[in-house]
Chains A and B, each alone.
Chain A
């Protein structure tokens, strides 16, 4: 269809044309009364593809994963009322990890708002605490501008979800359509360039460091700054650690990388974090799962430089000495330029001594585990997966022990390869995440590392995978427990395993088959590699393979920093 610029369009057409103008590839959604006009327009167009999920939560997760894997804005579309409430978990998940998505929600017609109409909820009210911003569009004339604002707000500054609530009558009203190239918002101007004075102070501090440490978070991935981070880290020769959200921001297989830090971080990363004298924090927010008890963390004297695009992330939980508000790519580029100009170099002797200390910590080999010949160790499955996929797969995960093992044992050398819910810790994301990733990268290897409990929270999406032939590989580390809960109960509740045992588990092989996929059950360690190789073989390239690995029920995640404890007070596997 050819549109004349001054031809009138309905609100529904406008929504669809705005999405097309934004270059949206996929809209993940689920229809219902309030969005039927929009669906009718989707039917008539071929600019983007609509992916019909089986539950609105999964629509938002898939859109979120698309955004994580590509850096572009993910889009979901749901109906009013229950469509919106189902979507809320997805929106909150994206919010906590600062993921750019736009969620278009249907609303009851404007005259019915506030009258407890059928399928009415106060969408703007319900979503307000878990969005970057939201809009209720009451006049069709505002629709195109609002859509533009939504995309701008979602993707700039600290990214985040934006909800656009569109009443049904607005989708029917007519107006002339013009999509603005950009929209000025006097109230919204994120700072992207770092303050030059602060940058100079930071560089000076880095050059004076004797025990430096770089702590890089999700902001490096979100801001596409891993090249700059890598260059800076190598130039300085400093050790670096990544948060759970920052994995892949610096190559995991590189010697300078001490691995993940935090609650389940490596011994060397946590010790170096605790004992460094200058800390460069980039795009990381000093989360409670990262620094442990802040009072304990503050016991050691260190000077902190903190680069973040969101001023409210700075000095929130830990007071810092040099705050730098700005986009991490910009700031690191400027820092690199200053470092290259600088005549001084970091003091080699001090740095060598520091590395000697770090190697001593590293030699504890805190991630080693006891391989078994009779029972499958979950860590082993992840290691093998890394080998079989040559470390080049996109890995999504759910939430629990398997998530931590995935983070610890799959070595991510590239950003946007590790897709998981860190901030909200939402069980159920794994499968819809894998769908979003695979659709974004149809030729890539995509695996979902999950647990038998988490996978059941969005298992219905196996049906979506069938419909769209999404050939992801599901790697279930089936320990017949909500393992992460069981671990806490073992450590802190006298092994009273209250409701953490999953009884009546389905036969996952049959379940996968019922959905039209391939199921495999693997019981023995010697079969692990072959199963993975088969699943990733060219013969099954087009198929979804659901692998049910029966793993050690009693395995725990180590190292572990107990809640409320200090970062250097880790429980190590060997100590138990």
Chain B
């Protein structure tokens, strides 16, 4: 099962490597990992997308909690939550295909943020699967470059991860 784990940790040098090291040392999967400071600069917020059996996910949460710098861990997938990922895609956009590309981007609520005679750069946000769907919807031969941030997540409603 795919899980989105969110955590708060001390914003110390090497914090990221403790988490990354834990995942590689214990052979846990990482689909994506994002990290940035929060409104409180002493805190880092990390979102990790991982897959594994219930037992493995339980161990992952326990092992993350065990890291001395980690303050709180939450498995977002245990409750209702919102997941967002940002993707920038540079595509070939010439001739008839140029209009078609714009239409597809519109359908996915993408925004064209850079334009040349021959290319568009499209910005898209959404769940990972929405971004996947966009890439499937366009001709792979037209894709020049894609860059994705990996998922960030937040609990719905009152559900929150705070110190």
Which residues of A come within 8 Å of B, CB atoms?
A: 124-125, 128-129, 132-133, 136, 153, 185-188, 310-312, 315-316, 319
Do B59 and A153 touch (CB < 8 A)?
no
- From B10, B13, B65, give the contact of A311 (CB < 8 A): B65
- From A125, A188, A316, give the contact of B59 (CB < 8 A): A316
Do B13 and A136 touch (CB < 8 A)?
yes
Known A187-B9, A312-B62; 10 more pairs at CB < 8 Å:
A125-B17, A129-B25, A133-B69, A136-B14, A185-B68, A187-B69, A188-B68, A311-B62, A311-B65, A315-B58
Do A129 and B21 touch (CB < 8 A)?
yes
| A129→B24 CA distance, assembly (Å) | 10
| A423→B43 CA distance, assembly (Å) | 35
Do B68 and A187 touch (CB < 8 A)?
yes
| A133→B18 CA distance, assembly (Å) | 10
Do A187 and B71 touch (CB < 8 A)?
yes
Do B62 and A187 touch (CB < 8 A)?
no
| A136→B18 CA distance, assembly (Å) | 14
> Which A-chain residue is minimally distant from B63 (CB atoms)?
A312
| A185→B163 CA distance, assembly (Å) | 12
Tell yes or no: B39 within 8 A of A by CB: no
Residues A312 and B59 in contact in the complex (CB < 8 Å), given A128-B18, A185-B68, A187-B69: yes
> Which B-chain residue is minimally distant from A138 (CB atoms)?
B13
A124: B residues at CB distance < 8 A = 14
| A125→B18 CA distance, assembly (Å) | 9
- From A128, A133, A310, A311, give the contact of B21 (CB < 8 A): A128
Do B66 and A186 touch (CB < 8 A)?
no
- What 0/1 readout, one digit per residue, does chain B (22-51) give for beta carbons within 8 Å of chain A? 000100000000000000000000000000
> Which A-chain residue is minimally distant from B58 (CB atoms)?
A315
Tell yes or no: B55 within 8 A of A by CB: yes
> Which A-chain residue is minimally distant from B12 (CB atoms)?
A135
Do B68 and A153 touch (CB < 8 A)?
yes
Range of interface residues on B (Cβ < 8 Å)? 20 to 34
Do B66 and A187 touch (CB < 8 A)?
no
| A249→B121 CA distance, assembly (Å) | 67
Tell yes or no: B70 within 8 A of A by CB: yes
Q: Closest CB of chain A to B40's CB: distance in Å? A: 11
B9: A residues at CB distance < 8 A = 187
Listed A/B pairs (22) with beta-carbon separation below 8 Å: A125-B17, A128-B14, A128-B17, A128-B18, A129-B25, A132-B68, A133-B68, A133-B69, A136-B14, A186-B163, A187-B68, A187-B69, A187-B71, A188-B68, A310-B66, A311-B62, A311-B65, A312-B59, A312-B65, A312-B66, A315-B58, A319-B55
The 4 nearest A-B residue pairs measured at CB = A312-B62, A133-B68, A187-B71, A311-B62
Q: Closest CB of chain B to A337's CB: distance in Å? A: 28
Q: Closest CB of chain A to B26's CB: distance in Å? A: 10
Q: Closest CB of chain B to A346's CB: distance in Å? A: 32
Q: Closest CB of chain B to A81's CB: distance in Å? A: 19
> Which B-chain residue is minimally distant from A186 (CB atoms)?
B71
| A129→B55 CA distance, assembly (Å) | 22
- From B21, B55, B70, give the contact of A187 (CB < 8 A): B70
Which of A132, A188, A310, A315 lies at the interface centre, i.e. has the most chain B CB atoms within 10 A of its CB?
A188
| A185→B58 CA distance, assembly (Å) | 24
A136: B residues at CB distance < 8 A = 13-14
| A132→B65 CA distance, assembly (Å) | 12
Q: Closest CB of chain A to B6's CB: distance in Å? A: 15
> Which A-chain residue is minimally distant from B65 (CB atoms)?
A311
Q: Closest CB of chain B to A446's CB: distance in Å? A: 34
B163: A residues at CB distance < 8 A = 186
> Which A-chain residue is minimally distant from B25 (CB atoms)?
A129
A311: B residues at CB distance < 8 A = 62, 65-66
| A125→B10 CA distance, assembly (Å) | 18
